[in-house]
Amino acid sequence: MFLGKSNTARRSRGFTLVELLVVLLILGLLAGLVGPRVLKYLGGAKTDTAQLQIEEFGAGLDLYHLEVGRYPTSDEGLAALSAKPAGADNWNGPYLKKKDLPVDPWGNAYHYRSPGENGEYDLYSLGRDDADGGEGEDADVVSW
Q: What is the pLDDT of residues 91-140, one digit of tens each?
A: 998 999 888 888 999 999 999 999 999 999 999 999 999 899 888 888 99
| Alpha carbon distance 129, 140 (integer Å) | 9
Which amino acid appears at position 86 of this protein?
Answer: A
Percent of the residues in the chain that have a pLDDT greater than 70, as a whole number: 88
**Higher-pLDDT residue of 61, 32:** 61
Q: Is the peptide bond before 72 cis (omega within 30 degrees of 0)?
A: no
* Contacts (Cβ under 8 Å, ≥6 apart) of 57: 78, 81, 96, 110, 112, 123, 143
Specify the pairing of strand 111-113 against strand 141-142: unpaired
pLDDT in tens, 13-40: 788 989 899 999 999 888 888 877 776 6
